[in-house]
Chains A and B, each alone.
Chain A
Amino acid sequence: MDRKTDRELVLQLQSGSLEALGELYDRYQTMVYRTALVIANDSSAAEDLLQDVFLRLHRFADHIDSNRPLEPWLYRMTTNLAYTYVKRNRRWFGPLEDFAEWLVGAERHNPHDSVEQSDDWQQVQKAVSTLPLSQRVVVVLYYLNDLSLQEISEILEVPVGTVKSRLHYGRQTLKKKLGIHSDMLPDLNHESP
């Protein structure tokens, strides 16, 4: 059976086909879900965001240009919704999280130990979740989704220089938080399934 292109599916969606919506969901659910997860650092929020992104795709299908690739639209919608979620959540729970962070601060391990532990991804998760939101979004799109600076700039609608600077500062912060020196980076033993 021929695999339909995104363009064909978007056109079908515009004429009201729920089957096309289901097919697009199958195609992009993992990408949207994982992007939302890493930005929001909350799996149940990521589930809600995933649903919300595709409901908006359905609702605003008529506004989508079928001649342009769909992925950037999905990335833009995911980052915008995740951004709103984090900002809203931060307003209510942020001070509490800061207090908890302060409480456990004294117990924090030596950053030099972090990269020697087997669960590197957990250390990175913690470090990424403390990044300012604008840097976190760029870091996620760059490292998780493997997008170029130009693509990120188009998705976020900011100049490439801004993307570059956010990535630079994000990387610096992560380096500091993880206590990484270039000569002590380990080989990660967790391969993506």
Chain B
Amino acid sequence: MDMDSYLSRAIRNWAARHHPPKNGKARLLLIAAASSRPVEEPRLDLRNVNRFGRPLMDGAFGPVILANMYSFHMSITSLRMII
């Protein structure tokens, strides 16, 4: 046997003792599916600078209100009904 055949067979024997993980495909497809999910429609960014040069939702409570827009809307509506 020559050097090339020896190395070739020995390296292949080493590699052949190892197999790809069994759950590899499922995991791959899961990650790929998550990464290819369509991006949501961009919402109107209320923090954009308005014509007065200040963001509409500036200040400490701006991000809190934006994150809880529904609750905020409901509480304002209830308040108006009471008044």
Contacts and interface: CB of A to CB of B under 8 A. Distances in A.
Interface of A: 16, 18, 21-22, 25-26, 29-30, 33-34, 37-38, 43, 46-47, 50-51, 54-55, 58-59, 120-125, 128, 139-140, 143-144, 146, 171, 174-175, 180, 182, 185-188, 190-193
A37 B17 CA distance: 11
Interface bracket on B = 20 to 34
Nearest to A47: B21
Contacts of A125: 14
B36 A22 contact: no
Contact of A47 (B6, B24, B31): B24
B68 interface: no
B83 interface: no
Contact of A124 (B2, B14, B28): B14
Contacts of B3: 171, 175, 180, 182, 185
Contacts of A121: 10-11, 13-14, 17
B64 to A, nearest CB: 35
11 contacts: A18-B29, A18-B33, A22-B25, A25-B28, A26-B25, A55-B28, A121-B11, A143-B4, A144-B8, A188-B1, A188-B10
Contacts of B15: 34, 37-38, 144, 192
B51 interface: no
A136 B49 CA distance: 57
B2 A25 contact: no
Contact of B1 (A25, A33, A34, A186): A186
Interface of B: 1-4, 6-21, 24-25, 27-29, 31-33, 35-36
A24 to B, nearest CB: 10
A145 to B, nearest CB: 10
Contact of B35 (A26, A59, A193): A59
Nearest to B12: A192
Given A18-B29, A143-B11, A182-B3, 6 more contacts: A22-B25, A33-B20, A37-B18, A54-B28, A139-B7, A143-B4
B20 A188 contact: no
Contact of A182 (B2, B24, B28): B2
Contacts of A22: 25, 28-29
